Amino acid sequence: MARYIFITGGVVSSLGKGLASAALGALLQARGYTVRLRKLDPYLNVDPGTMSPFEHGEVFVTDDGAETDLDLGHYERFTGVSARRTDSISAGRVYSNVLEKERRGEYLGKTIQVIPHVTNEIKDFLSIGEDEVDFMLCEIGGTVGDIEGLPFFEAIRQFAQDLPRGQCIFMHLTLLPWLAASGELKTKPTQHSVKELRSIGIAPDILVCRSEQPIPETERAKIALFCNVRPDAVIPAYDLKSIYEAPLAYHRVGLDRAVLDAFRISPAPRPDLRRWEDVLDRLNNAEGEVRIAVVGKYTRLEDAYKSISEALTHGGMANRVRVQAEWIDSELLEGEEGIHRLDGFHGIVVPGGFGERGTEGMIAAATYAREKKVPYLGICLGMQLAVVEAARNLAGIEDAGSEEFDHEAGAVRFTPVVYHLKEWVQGNHKVERKITDDKGGTMRLGAYTAVLAPGSKISEVYGGATEIEDRHRHRYEIDARYRDRLEEAGLLFSGMSPDGRLPEAVELRDHPWFIGVQSHPELKSKPFEPAPLFADFVRAAKELERMV
C-alpha cells in the first residue's frame, strides 16, 4: 500500500506547491522509490478545459484524454511518470459525480451532505491505484482557509485517520515575508496558517517556508516551537534561477530526508542525483544563445504556454544553448510594419489557440518564416494556419480559411481548408461531435498515432520512425481533399492518421526546417528527455544563428 504525502499551502497562493511536489517526487525516485502525483482543485469547473488561459494558464492534456491543471505538467517533467485522468479532480467533478449518483438512486433516498457524501467521493478518488506505487503525493490547490477548499481538507483529514498509523504525512508550504523597512523576517503569517490548519484537524509534519532572505536558525527554531514540528522539518525554500534547480536545492536543505524521517524510514536508500546534476550542467554551461519568437494569442500570461516554454528550454539543453524565448502578440504582426518585429530571430514557434483573433498575424509569421528561410514550428493552430498560408500564397487558393472563424448562419465566405471535425475513430469506436455540443471535453483529446512518410523531415527528426504518438487537443482539422493541390505547390503532408483521413504533420520541401504538427509534442517533453521536434528545431535555430 502506498504511503501518502498531502501537500497544502498557506498565507498566499502561487507559493510553488506544484513545483515542490514535483521536486519531492523526483527526489524520492532518486532514492529508488516509485511515485505518482495528484492534484485536487477546489474550483467548481468540472475541469480547466473551458477556462480562459488568462484565468488559469495552460490546460495540460494526458494520454487518456483528460484536460487538467498545468501542475500535472510539472509532475511529468520532473518524474517522467505519465499522468492519467485519475490524477486530477476538481470540486466541480466531485459534486457532479455525487449529484449523478443521487439521481440514479445510489444513495437509497438519504439526505445528501458534504459529510459524508462529498468527502467520501474525494476519498474514493485518493484511493485509486494505491497499490501501484511506494508514494502517492497529493497536492491540494488553493490556500488553507479558502471556503472552497474545506471539503478537501476534511476529506484528507478523514483519509489520514482511515490509514494505518505511519502511512500518511502532511507537508505545508507557507510564506515568510521580509519587511525591508524594519529589516525583519516575519514568522507570524506562518504561525497563523498552521493554526488555521490545526483548527480543522490537520497537524503538519513538515513546513516548507518560502523566503527571499536566508532564514536564521533562531527563526527556524521559533517556527518549530510555535508550529509544533521538529526543527529539522522546517525546510527553507528560496527563489531559484531555474525550476530545474529545485530537486537539488531541496535535497541540500533536507526535504527528502525530512520526509523519510517522518515516515520513520531508516536507514534510507542513498539518492542517485546524477540525472539532475546533468540537467543543471546543461542548463548552466550553455555554449551559445538562440532567440526564438513565440507568436501567440495569450502572450500576456506566460503560463498559458507553460509547456511550450519548458520544451524550448529542454531543446536548448539538448543542444547546449540557452534559448531566449520572446513572446509576441500575434495581433502586433498584422500590418506591413508589424512583421519586422520578427527580424533577428533564429526560429519562430506558432502555438495552439482558439478563435479568430490574431490569426492573420500568425499567418503573416508563417509567410515570414517561409520566405526568409527561418526555422518554423507550428503546433495545432500553428499548423492549420501554416496550411492556410500555403494554400493562399503557394497553391493559389486566395480565399483559403478555417471553418472555425465563420460557421454562423451556414454562410461560408471562403474555401475552408480547415474544417470542424464531426467524427473520428478513437480506439475501437467512432466519436461524433456537432458544433452545438457542449464545449467541455468534446475535442479530439489525448494520444493519437501518426503515420510518417518515409524520408520526410519529421521522420528523420524521430530517428527514421514511421509511427509516432502524441497528445491532441483541438476541434478542427486540415481537409485532406486539398492534399494533392498543396503537395504540388510544395507543402508535403508528412504525417497522417492511420486511416489516412486526418493530416497530422506538414512540412515545406524547399525549406531548411519548416514543420507543422496537429498534436502537442511539448506536453511530453522533459529536461532529461526533450521532445524530438523541439530539440531538432533548436538545433536548426542554432545553425541559423551561426550563419548570421
Q: Please give the full DSSP string across 407-458, using - where no structure is assigned.
A: -GGG---SEEEEEE--EEEETTEEEE--TTS-STT-SEEEEEEEEEPTT-HH
Q: β-strand 88-90 against 35-41: which pairing, if any?
A: parallel
Q: Residue type for 546, please?
A: R
| Residue in the block written with cell 483529514 | 157
102 is catalytic: no
Of 56, 74, 380, 477, which residue is the catalytic one?
Answer: 380
Upper half-sphere CA count for residue 275 (Cβ side, 13 Å): 19
CA distance 496 to 515: 14
352 neighbors 473 (Cβ within 8 angstroms)? yes
227 is catalytic: no
Output 457-463 pairs: Cβ under 8 A, ≥24 positions apart. 457/494, 457/507, 457/513, 457/515, 458/494, 458/495, 458/505, 458/507, 458/515, 458/517, 458/533, 459/494, 461/515, 461/532, 461/533, 461/536, 462/532, 463/532
3-class SS string, 125-194: HHHCCCCCCCEEEEEECCCCCCHHHHHHHHHHHHHHHHCCCCCEEEEEEEECCEECCCCEECCHHHHHHH
Sign of CA dihedral 322, 54, 518, 488: negative
CA distance 353 to 297: 7
Q: Which residues contact 113 (CB under 8 A, 6 or more apart)?
A: none
Of 117, 346, 474, 520, which residue is the catalytic one?
Answer: 520
Residues in the chain: 548
159 neighbors 150 (Cβ within 8 angstroms)? no
Of 67, 245, 507, 522, which residue is the catalytic one?
Answer: 522
CA distance 405 to 384: 12
On the 0-12 / 13-18 / 19+ scale of CB atoms within 10 A, 322 is middle
CA distance 138 to 337: 50
380 is catalytic: yes
DSSP annotation of 116 reads I
CA distance 441 to 251: 39
Residue from 436, 452, 455, 423 nearest 518 by CA: 452
E strand segments, 247-382: 289-296, 322-329, 347-350, 376-379
Output 397-405 pairs: Cβ under 8 A, ≥24 positions apart. 397/482, 397/485, 402/359, 402/476, 403/476, 404/354, 404/355, 404/356, 404/475, 404/476, 405/355, 405/356, 405/359
State the CB neighbour count (10 A cutoff) for residue 430: 9
Sign of CA dihedral 492, 447, 139, 147: positive
The catalytic residues are 380, 520, 522
